Copies of this chain bind each other. A is one copy, B any other.
Amino acid sequence: MKITCQTADLLKGVNIVSKAVPTKTTMAILECILIDASSGEIKLTANDMEIGIETIVEGSILERGIIALDAKKFSEIVRKLPKNEVTIETDSTFKTSITCEKAKFDIIGKSGEDFSYIPNPNRNQPIIISQFTLREIISKTIFSVADNENNKMMTGELLEIRNNKLKVVALDGHRVSIRNVDLKNETNDVKVVVPKKTLNEIIKIIDGGVDDIVNIFVTENHIIFEFDQTTVVSRIIEGEYFKIEQMLSADYETKIKINKKEFFDCIDRATILVNEGQKMPIIVNTSENTMSISISSFIGSMNESIDIVKEGKDVMIGFNPKFVMDALRAIDDEEISLYMLNAKSPCFIKADDGSYIYIVLPVNFNNPGAN
């Protein structure tokens, strides 16, 4: 194989596919990036068997062939090459020369024949969404996905399309994060649960704006994201997702409008008094047009009040400060609305236009370990 391309193009491709190189694996070949120049294109591939990424790099093929190169070393070399034309040439013993200006590297590759290509299931009608929107709705919900594996369903996000409306849902038993968005194109109804790792990599790779498109295909066992010169194929999580409709129909007796930044900064200050690993609730207490936030721990106590606009009755309720802060961080609005029923019912932070719903379960502040 002999190919030439620009360092910058090669680096971009290597950075994209590197996201699918496993950090730990018993299959040494998976630690490689495959360069496939056996057809008319230079294609880079990496595959950790859960997620596979493939991208096309612009360049010239002087001699067709394929080679698998250690992903870590190959990326480091490409990252540190001068910004100029680079030539990659292999011989029959998989010895690979990487030449750029006056620098020449010789490393030993592996046969590309042993590489596990990524699955290529049949595609039907795509879900079409802008790169900007997809990145937004994932990054503003993914923090609610559970880290622990006890409940497989909680380790992924629900993507559900009904009547051309896309809803993404992430929940971990203590909170629920939901984003809703209208799709511009006619799309079949779909319901699929995508692993957190896949979505985490997707939001790192898709860096386009509102005019750049992602085509999403859902097949029986896979979800496929196609954008620019890149294809990402991931397994999906099989099974029935949680019924969230009944949670959303909850009633409320208190509605509060509050400045988001003031609320966030106040909780941020309160958590200084909680040592890592400790579980101490913040206690929110309304009275007329102010809301006090207080916390007390072994270290000391803190109290602060914030001006609010309140409808309905007063309420006193305890929260895990981290869960409230995570939700506030994901909201761009300057002013937000909180909906509460009582100290035992979840608090809803909802957009008036329905674009987001964040639900945080309260904690018993007399016995904070209970949640």
Q: Which residues of A contact B (CB under 8 A)?
A: 70, 73, 76-77, 80-82, 102-108, 265-266, 268-269, 272-273, 299-306
Contact = CB atoms under 8 A, between A and B. Distances in A.
**Number of identical protomers:** 2
Contacts of A77: 269, 272
A236 B106 CA distance: 50
The listed residue with most B CB atoms (<10 A of its CB), out of A268, A300, A303, A305, is: A300
A304 B70 CA distance: 22
The listed residue with most B CB atoms (<10 A of its CB), out of A272, A302, A303, is: A272
Contacts of A304: 102-104
A99 to B, nearest CB: 10
Contacts of A273: 73, 105, 107
Given A80-B269, A103-B302, A105-B273, 11 more contacts: A73-B273, A76-B272, A80-B272, A102-B306, A104-B303, A105-B269, A105-B272, A105-B300, A105-B302, A107-B299, A108-B300
Contacts of A104: 302-304
Nearest to A307: B102
Nearest to A302: B105
7 contacts: A73-B273, A80-B269, A102-B305, A104-B302, A105-B269, A105-B273, A106-B301
